[in-house]
Amino acid sequence: MTKTRHNIGSLKTGTITGILFCLALAVPAWLLGKAFPIIGGPVFAILFGIVISTAAPQLVGFVCRDGSGISSGIRFTSKTLLQLSIILLGFEMNLFNVVRVGGQSLFVMLFTLAAAFLTMFLAGRALRLSGNTTTLIGVGTAICGGSAIAATAPVIGAKDEEVARSISTIFLFNIAAVFIFPALGHAMNMSDMSFGMWAGTAINDTSSVVAAGTAWSEVAGNNTALEFATIVKLTRTLMIVPITLFLAVYTARRRGAEGNSGFRFAKVFPWFVLLFVAAAVANTFLPIPTAASAFLAACGKFLIVMAMAAIGLNTSLKSLMSSGIRPIVLGLACWAAVALTSLAVQYITGV
């Protein structure tokens, strides 16, 4: 992990202005995300950022009177605040729920993770996509969409264009899942629990899992599928921890093999992921009021929206479009592999 070291007390005017600029974009994006949860605030934020960076690049390069540019604040938001957002998300985790549901979903989850990463590796090579884009789309599909991409990007040193490309790809399949999964579930005569397992293990983003679970539960007349899918999805979110640790080790070895003598493992180690675990442990075992936990988790989600706005501001539209349809093909392959594997494992094992 590359740390952006800032002493809050010594932040320059440009850095503060850059942070406030991202905040100004994040507020309407957050509100639109609440109004249109299928799309979500992060997608709106990235779009706002890209539009501004394309239409008015001089705003991104604005320099304050003290000589400091707001680009430093944009970088701070896209790096440091992004990592802080992942830590705060730990406050929505309850490890007792993870243990309770884990026994039922872990087996299915392991197979879907394996399917996603195998497809990611094979399809990514066939499509000749950049390694970082391939990794981000694979992780986003396997674990939890935008949050997993946000956690993985600083570990592997992904560029902002690669993050934006991956988020955009995941977004397409989030929308598709909300409409396709309930229809297919009814066509296959799935039970509430089976559909909840399928949605929780195979839909990318938490908001889309909730949307699909809600659509199913409204027809079923109960919240069984919605509640089970949501808990399974949050359990799946914990896979961020081992995956980012593995990627940190892999990145360290690869850079070492490339002869980067100045490279240190501590720079890429995802310390913020350990704090994410600490937040989950605190939320489980300490008497933290439910309202406080919900507020902290909501702050984390808002910071992700701010970080996505910053990433959009740092993204070149030309560079974003350079890979054409290949990221979408990769996303489709990974998504199909996860969805079919979840169904197959449930059918074979009777989970």
For the segment 204-215, the average pLDDT, to the nearest whole number, is 83
Evaluated on CA atoms 77, 78, 80, 81, the torsion sign reads positive
- The DSSP secondary structure of 137-181, one letter per residue, reads HHHIIIIITHHHHHHHHHHHT--HHHHHHHHHHHHHHHHHHHHHH
pLDDT tens for residues 322-340?
668 899 999 999 999 999 9
Per-chain mean pLDDT for the chain:
84
Q: pTM for the full model?
A: 0.77
Report CA dihedral (215, 236, 98, 219) to the nearest 10 degrees. 10
Stated as kind and residue range, the H or E segment containing 215 is helix 206-220
pLDDT tens for residues 218-236?
788 887 888 788 888 888 8
The answer to whether 213 and 233 are in contact (CB under 8 A) is: no
* Between 55 and 6, residue with greater pLDDT: 55
pLDDT tens for residues 260-278?
555 555 665 677 878 988 9
Contacts of 198 (CB under 8 A, 6+ apart): 181, 185, 190, 339, 342, 343, 346
For the segment 78-85, the average pLDDT, to the nearest whole number, is 87
